[in-house]
């Protein structure tokens, strides 16, 4: 079970695709750039284009900084990259192939790449695709599974001349985020020999539902998300998410009877970039768990260090209720 259900994304049906009887054999995740501006409405605009165009073009997902739109069902074949249509799922990302790596990793790009990484991780798990980029030789051998660019599909199968998402695409950053999401989703937080290494916070059943606060340091731009897992580390439910750039804490309530939280796990991820040009920037993330306004035992959970580029942080705690 992944954090985001692919079927839950808004669906704007593309005009052109090929229906396929499920389950489709998918071995590739193909990354595209939309050749459209980095704007919050670009995913919707390109999805509308796929829905109305006379041109035989489509993709499974369109992604920008604040939305993901499905255009073709996973088990159907999108018309996206000849040579990799039948056995690929295709992600269109807002931006241009001409962009440099710093341009891809601006504030918009980091948010968009995070959304795309979550979706790619879901596909990795669904189709048992390793979170790795294939070489051209590996792509040509249809026994291999992985992530590729549209440009590679053009180079290997020679059925198109597209070069997206371009030489400046930040593959190392993107693949790291995909890998982290795959690992987070596949990790079984069960009672095992490793249990002693898992941090816990202690709640009191009589003190009511806990509140959670996240604080990301000064001069940092961050996107965060909290999920609540079952006691066996499965079935995550997003309980809070947002953006922060003002060094002020964000708060939200974890609803429900505290007794029902016993043994469950609260996880969080935060994607952080420097918001200014300060020399030797540092990052800090602090998560506080409180009941009736008071810090509970085991809280806060903090991390800090140098911020040499876009940074992704992930952590979790076990909730113990007495």
> Which residues on neighbouring strands pair with residue 250, listed in sequence order?
214
pLDDT digits (tens, 9 = 90+) for 83-112: 999 999 999 999 999 999 999 998 889 889
Distances 251 to 161, 211, 297 between C-alpha atoms, Å: 49, 7, 18
**N- to C-terminal Cα separation, the chain:** 29
CB 34 within 8 A of CB 90: no
Q: What does DSSP assign to residue 80? A: S
Pairing of strands 301-306, 17-18: unpaired
180 pLDDT band, cuts 50/70/90, is: confident
Q: What is the DSSP string of 86-152?
A: TTEEEEEESB-TT--HHHHTSHHHHHHHHHHHHHHHHHHHHHT--SSBPPHHHHHSTT--EEEEHHH
**DSSP H helices in the chain:** 42-52, 101-104, 107-127, 136-140, 150-157, 171-186
Residues in the chain: 322
Q: What does DSSP assign to residue 11? A: B
Helical axes 171-186 vs 107-127, angle rounded to 10°:
50
d(CA 104, CA 113): 8
Q: Is the pLDDT of residue 223 over 50?
A: yes
308 pLDDT band, cuts 50/70/90, is: confident
Over its C-alpha atoms, the chain yields an Rg (Å, rounded) of 21
d(CA 250, CA 263): 25
> Which residues on neighbouring strands pair with residue 274, listed in sequence order?
220
pLDDT digits (tens, 9 = 90+) for 154-171: 999 999 999 999 999 999
Can you give the pLDDT at residue 23? 84
Structure tokens belonging to residue 275: 């918001």
Q: What is the mean pLDDT of residues 14-34?
A: 94
Domains of the chain by start residue, with CATH: 6-186 (3.40.80.10), 195-321 (2.60.60)
Provide the percentage of residues in the chain whose pLDDT is more than 90: 59
pLDDT digits (tens, 9 = 90+) for 243-287: 887 668 899 899 878 889 998 989 888 888 887 777 888 888 999
Cα four-point dihedral sign 144, 34, 92, 166: positive
Can you give the pLDDT at residue 187? 60
Q: What is the pTM of this model?
A: 0.67
């Amino acid at each position: 079970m992944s954090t985001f259900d692919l079927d839950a994304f808004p669906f704007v049906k593309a005009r052109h695709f090929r229906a396929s009887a499920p389950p489709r054999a998918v071995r590739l995740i193909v990354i595209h750039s939309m050749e459209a501006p980095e704007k919050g409405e670009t995913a919707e605009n390109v999805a509308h284009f796929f829905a109305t165009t006379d041109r035989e073009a489509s993709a499974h997902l369109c992604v920008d900084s604040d939305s993901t739109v499905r255009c073709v069902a996973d088990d159907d074949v999108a018309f996206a990259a000849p040579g990799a249509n039948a056995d690929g799922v295709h992600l269109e990302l807002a931006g241009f192939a001409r962009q440099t790596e710093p341009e891809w990793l601006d504030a918009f790009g980091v948010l968009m790449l995070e959304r795309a990484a979550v979706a790619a991780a879901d596909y990795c798990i669904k189709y048992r695709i390793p979170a790795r980029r294939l070489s051209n030789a590996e792509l040509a051998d249809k026994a291999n599974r992985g992530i590729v660019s549209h440009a590679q599909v053009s180079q290997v199968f020679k059925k198109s001349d597209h070069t997206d998402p371009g030489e400046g695409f930040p593959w190392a950053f993107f693949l790291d985020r995909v890998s982290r999401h795959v690992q987070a989703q596949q990790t079984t937080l069960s009672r095992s020999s490793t249990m002693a290494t898992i941090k816990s916070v202690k709640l009191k059943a009589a003190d009511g539902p806990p509140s959670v606060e996240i604080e990301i340091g000064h001069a940092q731009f961050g996107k965060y998300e909290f999920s609540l897992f079952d006691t066996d580390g499965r079935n995550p439910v997003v309980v809070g998410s947002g953006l922060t750039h003002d060094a002020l804490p964000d708060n939200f309530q974890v609803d429900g009877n505290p007794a029902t939280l016993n043994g469950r796990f609260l996880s969080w991820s935060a994607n952080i970039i420097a918001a200014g040009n300060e020399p030797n920037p540092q990052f800090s993330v602090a998560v506080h768990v409180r009941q009736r306004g008071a810090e509970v035992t085991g809280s806060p959970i903090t991390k800090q260090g140098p911020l040499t580029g876009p940074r992704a942080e992930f952590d979790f705690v076990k909730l113990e209720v007495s």
